[in-house]
Chains A and B, each alone.
Chain A
Amino acid sequence: MITLNLNVNGKDHRLEIEDHMRLLDVIRGPLGLTGTKEGCGEGECGACTVILDGNAVDSCLVLAAQCEGKKIVTIEGLETADGLDPVQQAFLDNGAVQCGYCIPGMVLSAKALLDKNVAPNDNEIKEAISGNLCRCTGYDKMVKAIKTASEVMQERGEQK
């Protein structure tokens, strides 16, 4: 067992975990945040994507013990008192969600992109979600949704 200090969705946690646990296991197990999905378990599908210190990563490819002192954002961390994150809202508004399994990872990949580059072009959007597989939608509506979110975020940025 090891003690792990982790900030998840803005909240500090001190957890006793088994050494062999992956970040994904800690998120879904002790933290109970089951919005993060396990798909392939080997970094091919992106269903388990979370944001680690600002970067999208596959949480199935990270040992929890490697994350000592780090900041993690999961899908549960996007909604604020003001409502859904612009990326979440845009996915709903554009009908970009079907079965939903890939969506938390897809949304977080988009979020990580927009936080660094609020006005990405189509290629940058496609690149950002290239590690997230979706077997329902054909990706088109997701790309549109991310563009919508980009516009909303730019407008909000201008208002500030």
Chain B
Amino acid sequence: MKVEKVIKAFSLKEALEALEANEGRAELIAGGTDLLVKIREKHNKKPVIIDISDVPECRGIRFEADYIAIGACAKYSELVASERVRTQMPGLWEASRSVGAPQIRNLGTVGGNIANASPAADAVPPLLAMEAVLEIVSPEGCRTVALKDFFKGKGQADLNASEIITQIVIPRPGSTQINVQFEKLGLRNALAISRLSAAAALELTEGGIIDKACVASGSIGLTGMREPELEAFLEGRTLDEATIEAACDLFSEVVAKRLNGRGTMPFKREAVRGVFGAALRKALRASV
């Protein structure tokens, strides 16, 4: 569809007003790395585009005592450049670093990656594993939704036309560092869309027993998703090589069942062992 009008918003209020004034005819742009490709192919759905990439309420990364708030329009390069992201959320840092190439990371935003609801979104598995919550603002006010409940299907999300994601909030109970790890398999190092990704956030007791496990996957379903079977399996076990091997076997079964009948199943059933195993081994190394 031809783009008839582009409105650049410089505040959240301006963006909300522009959405309201163009009800049903407008969509948001942040980094633009997906929308510009759609526009080029005439696959964009709305004639009016509202730019929120410079809306201050959606920018920056804040480290508070009991949570971390990532602005929806924070760019991947900002996450990669942040020493605190690297040390406190290593899985999210690695996922961010694996996105596209520098030119893409300098444009692409975390919120845009989420709002597109792509099953291959790199930031989504680590954010799911850290139990991230989205802050969504509309003229009616502000609501929050857990990221795991946000995705409704491939490209479909719990976000209506008058709403804007402003922040991604990550709780951090107790420790400052979340042992969250990420691994992805792409077809080459740069610019590759992930074919399979996994993230795990583990809380360990002093004896190395997994007290709490949050496991999430990308590209093995219609959306990025939590993996409760894996979480239940891991909790209560010692994080060691035997547990990792057994968890990878289980993940392989889960993938085989979920993708039954799909051409990618035989590949992904095997690949998930390597990807999830690598993520868990990073968690093991980080814990000692």
Residues of A at the B interface (CB closer than 8 Å) are 2, 19-20, 22, 41-44, 46, 49, 52, 55-58, 60-63, 65-66, 68, 109, 112-113, 127-128, 130-132
Residues in B with CB closer than 8 Å to A63 are: 3, 6, 29, 32, 36, 49, 51
Residue B2 lies at the interface, judged by CB distance under 8 Å to chain A? yes
Which B residues from 27 to 76 make CB contacts under 8 A with A? Answer: 29, 31-33, 36-37, 39-40, 49, 51, 53-54
Q: When the two chains form their complex, are residues A46 and B6 in contact, meaning their CB atoms are under 8 A apart?
A: no
Q: When the two chains form their complex, are residues A131 and B51 in contact, meaning their CB atoms are under 8 A apart?
A: no
**Which of A43, A60, A113 is packed against the most chain B CB atoms within 10 Å?**
A43
Residues in A with CB closer than 8 Å to B237 are: none
Q: When the two chains form their complex, are residues B107 and A57 in contact, meaning their CB atoms are under 8 A apart?
A: yes
Residues in A with CB closer than 8 Å to B82 are: none
Across the A-B interface, the 4 shortest Cβ-Cβ residue pairs: A131-B101, A130-B190, A20-B3, A65-B6
Q: Which partner residue on chain B sits nearest A113 by CB separation?
A: B102
Report which of A20, A57, A61, A109 forms a contact with B6, defined as CB distance below 8 A.
A20
Report which of A52, A60, A109, A128 forms a contact with B36, defined as CB distance below 8 A.
A60
Q: How many A-B residue pairs have CB under 8 A?
A: 92
The minimal Cβ–Cβ distance linking B28 to chain A, given in whole angstroms, is 12
A75 to B4, CA, bound (A): 30
Residues in B with CB closer than 8 Å to A109 are: 102-103
**Which of B5, B36, B77 is packed against the most chain A CB atoms within 10 Å?**
B36
Q: When the two chains form their complex, are residues B5 and A61 in contact, meaning their CB atoms are under 8 A apart?
A: no
Q: When the two chains form their complex, are residues B106 and A57 in contact, meaning their CB atoms are under 8 A apart?
A: yes
Residues in B with CB closer than 8 Å to A49 are: 103
Q: When the two chains form their complex, are residues A43 and B37 in contact, meaning their CB atoms are under 8 A apart?
A: yes
The minimal Cβ–Cβ distance linking B279 to chain A, given in whole angstroms, is 22
Residue B281 lies at the interface, judged by CB distance under 8 Å to chain A? no
Residue B189 lies at the interface, judged by CB distance under 8 Å to chain A? yes
Report which of A19, A22, A57 forms a contact with B103, defined as CB distance below 8 A.
A57
Q: When the two chains form their complex, are residues A2 and B6 in contact, meaning their CB atoms are under 8 A apart?
A: yes
Report which of B7, B54, B102, B106 forms a contact with A127, defined as CB distance below 8 A.
B102
